[in-house]
């Protein structure tokens, strides 16, 4: 059933105004000091839009997880990411654009148009693209992409917590919380840290100085 948007929430009007498949694209993970930046591209079926899609930041984790499970069965989803090494090499801003381009390329259905959350579209997309500032609060396809990207990245960081115990990745997902900074001080950086980020760079220098 097509969702009836709540007042002021995202709706399907932008997608409905264009023929052919339309995808929404969003990314997560620009701020953390560890882990990848991950983007999702989502093509919604206008006849089967899950109720409650919204900017992922406005949803509780349990609701995001439930909506993502629904999306997996009724939408076309593509993911793209840029690993910490690439972030360090080309900077986080450009890494986010690269991840978005990879997400669109990973879609099983070729979109005719991509709505991109933000003020700039990635280069090299296989379709027309339009940026939408605050798109996850305006466009249902971008809201869906924000949910898919957030859930997928959180799951990756839970896996990273098992590979690199002691840092608390399952809890803070790589963001520079007080607990994460303390773990960095105590353990030093691990392979999924972003060495171009100030707190990580400082922790590495302190570790080297103490050796």
Backbone angles phi, psi at 36, to 5 degrees: -80, 165
Backbone angles phi, psi at 150, to 5 degrees: -65, -45
Question: How confident is the model at residue 206, as a pLDDT?
Answer: 85
Q: Are 143 and 14 a contacting pair, CB within 8 Å?
A: no
Question: How confident is the model at residue 1, as a pLDDT?
Answer: 30
**Residue 52 neighbours by CB under 8 Å, 6+ apart:** 3, 59, 63, 67
Distances (CA, A) of 8 to 38, 53, 86, 119, 191: 27, 13, 37, 21, 42
Question: How confident is the model at residue 75, as a pLDDT?
Answer: 98
Question: How confident is the model at residue 141, as a pLDDT?
Answer: 98
Q: Are 142 and 59 a contacting pair, CB within 8 Å?
A: no
Question: How confident is the model at residue 7, as a pLDDT?
Answer: 54
Beta strands, E only, 29-74:
37-44
**Residue 161 neighbours by CB under 8 Å, 6+ apart:** 167, 168, 169, 170, 171
Q: Tens-digit pLDDT profile for the chain (211 aa)?
A: 334 444 568 999 999 999 889 999 999 999 999 999 999 999 999 999 999 999 999 999 999 999 999 999 999 999 999 999 999 999 999 999 999 999 999 999 999 999 999 999 999 999 999 999 999 999 999 999 999 999 999 999 999 999 999 999 999 999 999 999 999 999 999 999 999 999 999 989 888 887 6
Q: State the architecture of 13-162 in CATH terms.
A: 2-Layer Sandwich (3.30)
Question: How confident is the model at residue 20, as a pLDDT?
Answer: 86
Question: How confident is the model at residue 210, as a pLDDT?
Answer: 77
**pTM for the full model?**
0.93
Residue ranges of the domains in the chain?
13-162, 166-210
3-class DSSP string for 157-196: HHHHHHHCCCCCHHHHCCCCCHHHHHHHHHHCCCCCECCC
């Amino acid at each position: 059933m097509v969702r009836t948007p709540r007042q002021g929430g995202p709706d399907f009007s932008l997608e409905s105004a264009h023929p052919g498949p339309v995808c929404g694209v969003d990314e997560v993970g620009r701020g953390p000091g560890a882990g990848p930046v991950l983007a999702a591209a989502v093509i919604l079926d206008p006849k089967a839009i899950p109720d409650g899609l919204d900017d992922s930041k406005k949803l509780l984790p349990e609701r995001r997880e439930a909506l993502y499970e629904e999306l997996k069965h009724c939408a076309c989803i593509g993911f793209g990411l840029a690993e910490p090494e690439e972030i360090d090499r080309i900077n986080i801003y450009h890494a986010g654009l690269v991840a978005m381009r990879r997400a669109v390329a990973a879609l099983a259905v070729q979109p005719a148009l991509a709505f991109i959350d933000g003020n700039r579209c990635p280069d090299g997309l296989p379709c027309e693209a339009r940026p939408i500032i605050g798109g996850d609060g305006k466009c249902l396809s971008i809201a869906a992409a924000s949910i898919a990207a957030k859930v997928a990245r959180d799951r990756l960081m839970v896996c990273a917590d098992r590979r690199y115990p002691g840092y608390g990745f399952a809890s803070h997902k790589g963001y520079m919380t007080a607990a994460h900074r303390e773990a960095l001080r105590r353990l030093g950086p691990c392979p999924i840290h972003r060495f171009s980020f100030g707190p990580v760079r400082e922790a590495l220098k302190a570790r080297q100085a103490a050796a």
